[in-house]
Amino acid sequence: MKALILIWKSLRPRQWTKNLFIFAAVLFSQNIFNFPFLLKTIFPFFIFCFFSGCVYIINDLTDLEQDRHHPVKSQRPLASGKLKISYAIAALIILLPFLLGISYCLSHSFFWIVLIYFLLQLAYSFYLKDIVILDVFAIACGFVLRVVAGALVIDVEISSWLIICTILLALFLSLGKRRYELVALGEEASNHRNVLKKYSPYLLDQMISIVTAATVVAYCLYTVSEETIGKFGTRNLIFTVPFVLYGIFRYLYLIHQKNSGGSPENILVTDKPLMVGIFLWITVAGIILYG
């Protein structure tokens, strides 16, 4: 029983919030209250949750020695030695074929997206995480695949704007995380993540500035594009822009003034001002799209 609890912790359920991106398609296709569509999305959401959990275990296995010297990661079940490596491998042998099988039964197209996602994560774990710039692009692609999967399971056309905004937002969060790691770990940064020796705070700040501006511009253009207005029959999505701006500015404040950003998924559920901003954005967008 103790081993199962440790395996569950290794799956990192607290970080599963990033899989909520799979609901983007059902939300922006105005089907969030369509129960059959919502049900079709919920099941794939949990598949992605457990798949990403398996990837976390793989990452913990590949980074075992580095994590043992990390101030926070050393407390993880594998790094601390509480969970045996053989148990973690056994969990992967059981979970991965099971999840792939369910994905195939659910939808062939969904299965291929899941498989591509898994292969991308493997490439990241064993190679891409050490390649400067490509490391954050690999993470961003993972978010895009979640959005695409959400569109495929309900058979709706994916918006190009949604893809662009997802890529930019994911890059923003990933670069913020890299900056936090570099600053927080100081001279020891490269010992914990090899790619960090190829970055500098100045370079990351420049990249974050570019991605931040691009994210805001892309979302603003999305709200006023003829495609969006024609699809939703309203020009009022422009009124959600202030909430997006606040959310981005608040996150930048947390990165630069509070030295946060190491765990975006935790910030999104612990920082009350940011949570209020997200709630208001969802509320206003919901009223505009469904009102």
pLDDT digits (tens, 9 = 90+) for 35-84: 888 888 999 999 999 999 999 999 888 888 777 777 777 788 888 888 88
By the 10 Å C-beta count (0-12 exposed, 13-18 middle, 19+ buried), 215 is classed as: buried
* Distance from C-alpha of 167 to C-alpha of 28, rounded to nearest angstrom: 17
Measured between alpha carbons, how far is 203 from 145 in angstroms, rounded to an integer? 27
Q: Is 185 in the same domain as 251?
A: yes
Examine the domain organization and report whether 151 and 216 are in the same domain: no
pTM, two decimal places: 0.89
The token pair at 266 is 């935790």
Radius of gyration of the chain (CA): 19
pLDDT higher for 158 or 278?
278
Judgement on whether residues 141 and 231 belong to the same structural domain of the protein: no
- Whether 144 and 176 map to the same domain: the answer is no
pLDDT in tens, 103-162: 999 888 999 999 999 999 999 988 898 899 999 999 999 999 999 999 999 988 888 888
Residues 147 and 168 in one domain: no
How many angstroms separate the Cα of 280 from the Cα of each of 226, 235, 244, 289? 25, 18, 10, 14
In a shared domain, residues 118 and 166:
no
**Residue of 163, 131, 153 whose CA lies nearest to 48:** 153
Domain's final residue, options 100, 124, 158: 158
Calculate the alpha carbon distances from 256 to 176, 208, 242, 260 in Å. 9, 11, 21, 8
**CATH number assigned to the domain comprising residue 120:** 1.10.357.140
**Max mean pLDDT range (80-89, 139-148, 175-184):** 139-148
Same-domain check for residues 244 and 170: yes
* Ramachandran bin of 78, using left for φ above 0, alpha for ψ from -120 to 50, beta for the remaining angles: alpha
User: What's the pLDDT at 189?
Assistant: 67
Q: Is the same domain home to 18 and 78?
A: yes
Neighbours of 191 (CB within 10 A): 13
With beta carbons less than 8 A apart as the criterion, state whether 182 and 204 touch. Answer: yes
C-alpha 289/C-alpha 153 separation (Å) is 21
Q: Which of 126, 52, 56 is nearest to 88 (CA)?
A: 56
- Domain range for residue 85? 1-158
Q: Among residues 121, 139, 158, which one ends one of the domains?
A: 158
Residues 137 and 180 in one domain: no
> Looking at the structure, do residues 138 and 229 belong to the same domain, yes or no?
no
- Over residues 240-255, the pLDDT tens digits come to 999 999 999 999 999 8
Helix (H, G, I), strand (E, B) or coil at 81: coil
Residues 174 and 139 in one domain: no
- Per the structure, the count of domains in the chain is 2
Q: What is the pLDDT of residue 191?
A: 66
Domain-terminating residue out of 158, 183, 199: 158
| Whether residue 150 is found in the same domain as residue 168 | no
